[in-house]
Chain A
Amino acid sequence: GAVVSQHPSWVICKSGTSVKIECRSLDFQATTMFWYRQFPKQSLMLMATSNEGSKATYEQGVEKDKFLINHASLTLSTLTVTSAHPEDSSFYICSAPARMEETQYFGPGTRLLVL
């Protein structure tokens, strides 16, 4: 099946700094990617839909100025957590649908800890 990677797998940063997370589709092109957040022992919540060549679509309650999404190519989407605070600590997961398939492939996730 298709492979989606994320980098880094984990990151620790100081409060107030910005962190960039990359999501790559390794063997297929993805015009759309999805970003999710998962708090400990909770389910995945969709944050935003990343669209290649256009602005991302954010879910209600997600601050677009805090969670910047850039989908610069058909294989790469980035999520930047700006001015991170401890409450942003979470597990961030991306997914991408492979063309002609009715399935999304998920990345392994990035664990963010803000001190």
Chain B
Amino acid sequence: AQKVTQAQTEISVVEKEDVTLDCVYETRDTTYYLFWYKQPPSGELVFLIRRNSFDEQNEISGRYSWNFQKSTSSFNFTITASQVVDSAVYFCALSSGGYNKLIFGAGTRLAVHP
């Protein structure tokens, strides 16, 4: 079975704090892809990153960084020095065994307060 678990339902931080969003996935496939999307209040899902199962290198993009660990089936997302504009719902997703079918986690609502 394929599954994505985002255990943190809501996180509230004050601006400039670092925050890590957790994502744990399950799949029996050896080839799979992991994604993070951001959904601001406007509702549109914004693509943040795609990572394939053979690439465990961590990635940094500005204030965003991702830590992929196959040993723990986790793909965590860290925002450094959070800003109010980072307030949104963040989704982790898995594509495994079939083209563009994304299996989403329940999402983590991040509120960044000034």
A binds B: no
Q: Which A residues lie at the B interface, using CB under 8 A?
A: none
Q: Which B residues lie at the A interface, using CB under 8 A?
A: none
